[in-house]
Amino acid sequence: MKPTDHPLNRFFQGPGKTFLGGALVVILPFQKRLLYLTGGLYYRRDFTEVIGARGYFYQQLRQGKLVLWDAVQATGIPFPTYLFDLFNPSSLFYTFLLRDGYLRNLPAQWMLTFHCSLGALGAYLLGLSLNLGRTASVVMGVIMGCCGVVVIKSVEPMMVHTFAWAPFVFLFLNRARQRELKREGLWAGVFLGFCFLGGHPQIFYYIGLAVLLCALYGLVVDTEESGAGAAWSRAFQTYLPLTISFLLTSAPQMAHQVASLAWGPPDVMTAADNRLLLIHSQTGSAELSLLFNFLFPALEGGHGETYFYVGIMPLVLAWVAVLALPFRSEASFWKVLVLASLILMMGGNLGIHKILVYVLPGFKYFRLPSRWVFLVHLGVLVLAGFGLARLLSVKQAGEFAGFPRVLAIVMGGLLLVMVSLIAVGHLEILPRVGQITVILNSLTGTLLFLAATWYVFRRIRAGEAGLSLRFFIVAVVVLDLAFYHPSVGINFNIARSGQEFGQDPSAVSKEMEAIAEDLAGLSREKPGRILIGVQGVRTPWERNVSQSAFYRHRVHSFFPIDGYPERLHPLGYWEMVWKMDEMPRAINLLGAQFIERGRAELTV
């Protein structure tokens, strides 16, 4: 028997490589989390009482250093709050992880990591479905599981729970177009329903609009190729089953939300609230300067949604797809999706957002336009897969000869900037000179990964696209997103680690503890007659501290501290809360005593 005929060799030449690629993208999010947890900051397994680290925790998260850590559940908030949804199939696992009605930090982290790995697997399978090859598919999976927006929004897990299913939706939409089978459309609808059950309305709306854009794009392409009749027939064959299966999958939670809106606590929107939504959408818009976050993670400030980092090599590969693939290729839809999402992400900083707010009913409720970055990341990771597949399909030497020159010019420019910053850094009289070290750290990492990308293009230009180069590409992307990006192991972003951000969380904890004690006393005097509203709590860690203190003292606010309406909570949650203090099923708001707590004093 020849060595190549050995069963193990045949396995690794065919399905074995596919399996190993899938295993890699699934394991990496867990590896990324464990790398951080070996550091000195993580000194307890249960963070319910560790309030003092909250400010530092968010500062670390903003730099991408803390990944897959659920801060909301870390404070010990009861399980139904946002993260838990009885009708989300994966959330059934949480019922086995509760302790005294609380979902503790550690199991919540593992489940959140599971969702990141799930999304990574979906992106990997999507790449295989698009016939991009195993190498490109692995790169897509790594980006999906470890990209910037997944890192930063792990603090709000329902966003990740919603976004994780998106690759599966487009996987089966692509299979439906390839095979023209109603079954594939049904599966796409099921996974779109899982997106809805994930729990975050805005992210689901964006995914739903992306599906609508995909339908319109397919309709236009099919009309040009086969005529209007055949195009509409094909669209109905795909999207009618999708709609039916989506409605059936989401029906339990949809019915629950309708019931909650009809019989739960009222959610009153005033004219002032509408104005605030418009203001919020303006302040939540991305600015052009924030696009630097695609190259330099955490160098610019702004909303957490503006954490755009997808890796250096994947970004260059996405440009390859944009520039090298013809307009009518399969990558065209993803080009349109990225362009449209980038424009909408700018929100109030571009005129089109203001027009859409007044023209499209309900558009203002999207609140934070910068969250379109979720679709930007989805489109960029697919374009990176297309770009890498095109790069590895080079048949003759000399192709892509211009890319190494451009990369060399960019690297030369970065080196010139770094030398200039080092020279300027010796001038102590300059203001904010301390930020130069931070900028140099970011430029160093970007320069190193650009150099690795330049090396890949040099090999491609020489006509080499063998197995060693493919391993090198995957290794660089993994090193970038799973090691450098969270600043663990290989660390270039360490300059800010010693700085303090915001108020001392321990002081806020003491203040909120005193407020909770006061409100608990009032609740005991007049049980069931007090509706609590808290003003002046603005930062996430203040919100978590206050809610944790409130629950410890059995004081219940009927709107979350940061103002999110409770429409996502199942009715069982309200029954549980009201039963605790024997509060009536229906609250008479006119007879309730309203308590507003500012930062200075308690007013009744």
In this structure, the answer to whether residues 557 and 590 fall within a common structural domain is yes
Query: Looking at 354, 376, 393, which one is the last position of a domain?
Result: 393
Spatial contact of 277 and 563, defined as CB atoms under 8 Å apart: no
Query: Looking at 358, 393, 428, which one is the last position of a domain?
Result: 393
Query: Does a structural domain hold residue 364?
Result: yes
Query: Looking at 431, 448, 464, which one is the last position of a domain?
Result: 464
In this structure, the answer to whether residues 342 and 376 fall within a common structural domain is yes
Residue 103: strand, helix, or coil: strand
Q: Is the Cα dihedral 175, 178, 184, 190 positive or negative?
A: positive
Count how many domains the chain has.
3
In this structure, the answer to whether residues 360 and 458 fall within a common structural domain is no
Beta-carbon contacts of 291 under 8 Å, excluding residues fewer than 6 positions away, are 308
Nearest residue to 583 (alpha-carbon basis) of 555, 603, 547? 555
In this structure, the answer to whether residues 276 and 387 fall within a common structural domain is yes
Tokens, residue 241 = 């089953």
Query: Does a structural domain hold residue 113?
Result: no
In this structure, the answer to whether residues 375 and 275 fall within a common structural domain is yes
**Strand extents, DSSP E, 494-529:** none
Query: Does a structural domain hold residue 497?
Result: no
CA-CA-CA-CA torsion for 360, 361, 366, 371, nearest 10 degrees? -20
Binned at pLDDT 50, 70 and 90, residue 173 comes out as very high
Bridge partners of residue 99, in order along the sequence: 102
User: How distant, in Å, are the alpha carbons of 163, 390, 395, 460, 500 from that of 318?
Assistant: 20, 11, 20, 16, 37
Query: Does a structural domain hold residue 84?
Result: no
In this structure, the answer to whether residues 356 and 447 fall within a common structural domain is no
Tokens, residue 380 = 């960029």
H or E element at residue 99:
strand 98-99
What pLDDT, in 10s, does the model give residues 521-566? 655 555 443 444 443 343 333 444 444 555 555 554 443 333 343 3
pTM: 0.74
Nearest residue to 560 (alpha-carbon basis) of 549, 580, 546, 570? 546
Q: What b/e string do you get for 397-429 counting C-beta neighbours within 10 Å, with b at 16 or more?
A: eebbeebbeebeebbeebeeebeebeeebeeee
In this structure, the answer to whether residues 302 and 366 fall within a common structural domain is yes
What pLDDT, in 10s, does the model give residues 326-376? 777 788 999 999 999 988 888 777 777 777 777 777 776 677 788 888 899
Query: Does a structural domain hold residue 579?
Result: yes
Beta-carbon contacts of 581 under 8 Å, excluding residues fewer than 6 positions away, are 523, 527, 528, 554, 556
In this structure, the answer to whether residues 275 and 333 fall within a common structural domain is yes
What pLDDT, in 10s, does the model give residues 479-503? 888 775 544 323 333 333 333 333 3
In this structure, the answer to whether residues 328 and 434 fall within a common structural domain is no
Query: Does a structural domain hold residue 260?
Result: no
In this structure, the answer to whether residues 372 and 414 fall within a common structural domain is no
Q: Taking residues 92-109, report their average pLDDT.
A: 57
Q: Taking residues 130-153, report their average pLDDT.
A: 86
| CA–CA dist 68, 66 (Å, integer) | 7
Q: Which pLDDT belongs to residue 87?
A: 62
Which of 130 and 512 is assigned the larger pLDDT? 130
What pLDDT, in 10s, does the model give residues 323-334? 888 777 788 999
Q: Taking residues 108-135, report their average pLDDT.
A: 87
Q: What b/e string do you get for 253-277 counting C-beta neighbours within 10 Å, with b at 16 or more?
A: bbebbeebeeebbeeeeeeeeeeeb
Q: Which pLDDT belongs to residue 110?
A: 72
Query: Does a structural domain hold residue 483?
Result: no
Query: Does a structural domain hold residue 198?
Result: no
pLDDT at 305 over 90: no
* Low-confidence winner among 125-134, 308-317, 514-523, 533-542 (lowest mean pLDDT): 533-542
Which of 59 and 87 is assigned the larger pLDDT? 87
In this structure, the answer to whether residues 274 and 374 fall within a common structural domain is yes
In this structure, the answer to whether residues 367 and 458 fall within a common structural domain is no
Which of 317 and 252 is assigned the larger pLDDT? 317
Nearest residue to 465 (alpha-carbon basis) of 562, 390, 541, 559? 390
Domain that includes residue 568, residue range: 505-603
Tokens, residue 250 = 């989401």
